[in-house]
Chain A
Amino acid sequence: MLDGLTWDLVALQLFTGLALGAVYVLLAVGLSLIFGMLTVVNFAHGAFYLVGAYVGYEVLTLGGSFWLSLAVVPAAVGLLGLAVERVLIRPLYGRSVDDPLLLTFGLGYVITELVRIAFGKSGLPFDTPDALQGAADIGIGFFPLYRLFVMAVTAAVLLALWVALERTRFGLIIRAGARDPVIVRVLGVDVATVWLAVFGIGTAIAGLAGLMAAPLQGVAPEMGSTILAEAFVVTVVGGMGSLAGAVAAGLVVGVVVSMTSLVAPEMAKVSIFALMAVVLLVRPQGFFGRAGLMSG
């Protein structure tokens, strides 16, 4: 099974895992941001990811470039997110925490089916942009240029988020709100607008993640639901609501999948959920989650 195993191969495998983890991070960060601030478990996250991929496809079909879609997709999906928060989620604040979860669960069905109606039931091709085709020598072997680009985009998004959260007034409110929403409201901050914005940002990142995935796998209506469970695993392992946790868990999950693929590839998917079970047994709140948060 493992003949021909060299250190270069192991190193390349590790790197592949980190690159895969970058996609997970991008997905989990949006999910965690929305949960941390709004305590909304967004079961429609996969659907926003799906919409992102299809908006990117549409931009290309209309003659736009991949680079244009890098701007259009987050804007369009973010707008959709704003509308969803304003019309569907906002009436649920103050009700049971299960309600937004249940609503977004149904919403995921609706969005996915609308995509099927608009774009058809079978998958559509999405070619890697010309400038990012081919593989680059990273010292331990050749690695697709596009996957390096995805890692860079993830890093850029994280940097932007860090700056926004740590260096702006808006970020201060969000951090305070994540710690104690009641106090923030008492202090007279317009929480409603902040929550709206957070939901928009979270969904915009989900859309961007979908766009990033499109050249890797093409677009298909099923892509959102398959990724959803994995995104939740990453979020829960990292600690729900923790951005640092989402980053750490995303990379760990990527590496675990990659290393499992090397020794027992058919177990790659189980490994994700087994990891989660183990982490939760040892540390029920995940890597960076706070115990007692969301206890009902």
Chain B
Amino acid sequence: MAVSSILARPAAAVTSPWLLAAVRHRFLLAAAALLLMPALVPFTALATSILVYGLYAVGFNLMFGYLGALSFGHAALFGAGAYGCGIVLASLGWPWWLALAAGTASGFAMAAALGTIAIRARGIYFSMVTLALAQCVYYAFYQAAGVTGGENGLMLPALGRIRVAGLALDGDAPLTRYYIVAAFVILALFALSRILASPFGAALEAVRENEARARASGYDVAATRLLAFALSGAFCGLAGALQALQLSIVPIETLSIDTSGLAVMMCLLGGAGTYFGPFVGAAAFLLLEASVSVWTVHWQLAVGAVFVACVLFFRRGLWGSVVAWVGR
């Protein structure tokens, strides 16, 4: 299979009772960490970016880490969410929470559509096909400038005053917006932990470890792969929608090949196949970029070198290594 056993979920071999408890309550721990993050990060907009890209990497990780399929076209799913949310917000004037739902649904639908074509391909072909399909989506959205704004991007109204559970909030206050985004990210993480604990989660693992055996055991491999892709699209779609709310703009770059690469980098940096790794990867990437770009414009050199080093020596990623070390 495409992903070797080092990527297997670390929970399997855990013996320490503390760690067992940590794994069982990993959702609560992750949620607590995200709630505390604004205190640990230099500025709130960066913390919000970590949330958004972390969730994007979570969606990617569902395919790469848990199913073992390396997609190079996840920008299409992230972008579908951003545009889905942005278009209903800008042109139809829907309320923001409905726009988030629309973004999530767009990501799901885009993934289902692309998945129907791409999922037949395996291994490297899957990477290439997703890359090409995402490029097609990029150009389609670029051309549809009437709806998407094309090169200029799609401008959205700011969040402004919103009401949540009877409370009036200022959606433009950075910390308020952070916690609004965090609420949805935590909701998504909860959904992820339910999905992984369900029979479908077991099917994912079976398909990753040995497709032929999974098929022999009665799993519908094609359906599992397609559903995983679609669910991955829903997570990425929500991330894209939250990004649109945060920035009040959907740039066409959201759909670019670089955005696809970002998910790969962040997921690998944090630790593919780990529950919280994508957030660690997103934080590491964005903090590295923010700090290196202060003293040199050649920050891409550092980012590329760290990535190469990760592949060569550190394949578990930052969080994956921590988990493996604690779990010894």
Contact = CB atoms under 8 A, between A and B. Distances in A.
A105 B261 contact: yes
A102 B307 CA distance: 8
A154 interface: no
B300 A41 contact: no
B140 interface: yes
Interface residues of B, number: 44
A294 interface: yes
Interface stretch (B116-124, B166-174, B247-255): B116-124
B139 A113 contact: no
Contact of A277 (B4, B125, B132, B310): B132
B4 to A, nearest CB: 5
A131 interface: no
Contacts of B132: 229, 232-233, 236, 273, 276-277, 280
A284 B121 contact: yes
Given A117-B298, A284-B120, A273 B308 contact: no
A294 B4 contact: no
Contacts of A277: 117, 132-133, 136
B250 to A, nearest CB: 20
A134 to B, nearest CB: 35
Contacts of B129: 236, 280
A296 B308 contact: no
A14 interface: no
B307 A101 contact: no
A23 B131 CA distance: 21
Main secondary structure of the interface of A (DSSP, over half): helix
B300 A296 contact: no
Interface in B103-151: 117, 120-125, 127-129, 131-133, 135-136, 139-140, 143
B291 to A, nearest CB: 16
Nearest to A110: B304
A236 B125 contact: yes
Given A109-B300, A277-B132, A294-B125, A98 B70 contact: yes
A277 B118 CA distance: 9
B268 A229 contact: no
Interface in B273-328: 297-298, 300-301, 303-308, 310-312, 315
A97 B315 CA distance: 13
A148 B131 CA distance: 32
B4 A95 contact: yes
Contacts of A229: 131-132, 135, 257
B59 interface: no
A236 B128 contact: yes
A253 to B, nearest CB: 12
Contacts of A107: 304, 308
Contacts of B135: 229, 273
B83 to A, nearest CB: 17
Contacts of A273: 132-133, 135-136, 139
A88 B124 contact: no
Nearest to A272: B135
A233 B131 CA distance: 9
Nearest to A233: B132
Contact of A97 (B124, B257, B264, B305): B124
Interface in B234-267: 257, 261, 264-265
A232 B131 contact: yes
Contacts, number: 123
Contacts of A35: 124
A107 B301 CA distance: 9
Interface residues of A, number: 47
Given A99-B315, A296-B2, A280 B121 contact: yes
A32 B121 CA distance: 18
A110 B312 contact: no
A105 B312 CA distance: 13
Contacts of B310: 106
A116 interface: yes
Nearest to B272: A98
Contact of A105 (B2, B117, B140, B264): B264
B308 A106 contact: yes
A139 interface: no
Contacts of A98: 2-3, 70, 127
The residue in B117, B127, B211 that gathers the most chain A C-beta atoms within 10 A of its C-beta is: B127
A41 B131 CA distance: 13
B70 A269 contact: no
Contacts of A72: none
A296 B301 contact: no
A223 to B, nearest CB: 15
Nearest to B308: A106
B308 A270 contact: no
The residue in B124, B131, B257 that gathers the most chain A C-beta atoms within 10 A of its C-beta is: B124
Contacts of B264: 102, 105
Interface string A92-136: 100111110111011111101110110001000000000000000
B71 to A, nearest CB: 11
Contacts of A236: 125, 128-129, 132
24 contacts: A35-B124, A92-B311, A95-B315, A96-B2, A97-B123, A102-B311, A106-B311, A109-B303, A116-B298, A121-B297, A229-B257, A236-B128, A236-B132, A240-B125, A270-B136, A270-B139, A270-B143, A276-B132, A280-B117, A280-B121, A284-B120, A285-B125, A295-B123, A296-B1
The 9 A-B residue pairs whose C-beta atoms are closest, nearest first, are A109-B304, A106-B307, A110-B304, A113-B301, A296-B123, A270-B139, A106-B308, A295-B122, A103-B311
Interface of B: 1-4, 68, 70, 117, 120-125, 127-129, 131-133, 135-136, 139-140, 143, 211, 257, 261, 264-265, 268, 297-298, 300-301, 303-308, 310-312, 315
